[in-house]
Amino acid sequence: MFYRRRDGKRVKDLEGVAKLMPLFLPSREGSVNKYLFSDTTKYFDDFIKQKQETDKITYTYRDIVVAIMVRVLKCLPRLNRFIVAKRFYQRNSIDISMMVHKSFKGDTPEVVAKASFSGDETIKEVKEIFDNAIEAAIKTSTESDKTAKSLARMPMLLLRLSVRMLRIFDHFGWLSKRFLFKVSPFHSSIFFTDLKSIGLEYIFHHLYNFGNCPFFVALGKEQVMPVVNGEGELAVDKVFQMGLTIDDRCIDGLYLAFTLKLMKKLIRNLSVLERPPLESEIRD
């Protein structure tokens, strides 16, 4: 009844410092590590051009980044853990949330797009699932929007009590058994923001103490800047940048190194994303 969750399974084999981390660092926002990930846009641009010419499919940087993150979480499952009530859980699915505007008018409210993946999807399937989630969020009023509007209409005292109750329910795992979990952007593997689409550079976005999302990815617009090429010479190249904000309690330095290395490897061979992951590519 207590601490059992529908969105994850309790991790019980932790030892030493890892198990103590939530006790010493009780808040998610106070436990963040930040990393600026950057790479040349050549691999993205070449892949986008090739797929447009051969398959008549137009991929965007967002499509590729989301597909890469889905594959990374599948191949490195410990990255898909979260902490609630000072307990570690292994998430049952790969859930990615994104806030989107219905239009580019300044007074247009944001809506929630949330998509779930098994991790076995190809980049084409990831694109279709995520595009459908965004389209549904823009064209219709989702349960998340309806819930937010209902809460916002409450008097402040009642609203504060309602939010306090939501926090208590989430603490004990009861919220994951309710409909709100399905639409809550705060209960995700990754919270993603595509700042490139509105012409902004990357940022390091904060994590939320409500919910259980331990990972924020902020994709910024590409930049032309001086780089050192493979021959050790200074050159000018176009690069893309992402601000990664990660809950340090969920992933140690070595596992973060595995994550970044795999991201680089996938970027340099994006055709791998056109097939499901192999069993040999999945490691604990």
> Is domain 8-272 in CATH 3.30.559.10, yes or no?
yes
Q: Quick check: 97 and 113 in contact, CB under 8 A?
A: yes
**pLDDT tens digits for 134-156?**
998 888 765 556 667 777 788 88
> By the 8 A CB rule, do 117 and 123 touch?
no
pLDDT for res 142: 55
137 phi and psi angles, rounded to 5 deg: -65, -35
Alpha carbon distance 247, 214 (integer Å): 5
| Model confidence, pTM | 0.90
What is the rounded distance in angstroms from the CA atom of residue 143 to the CA atom of residue 148? 8
* β-strand partners of 227: 235
User: Quick check: 263 and 68 in contact, CB under 8 A?
Assistant: yes
Give the pLDDT confidence score for residue 146 in this predicted structure. Answer: 66
114 pLDDT higher than 60 = yes
Mean pLDDT along residues 69-76: 98
Reported as a pLDDT band with limits 50, 70 and 90, residue 178 is: low
Look up residue 223 and give its two tokens.
């930049």
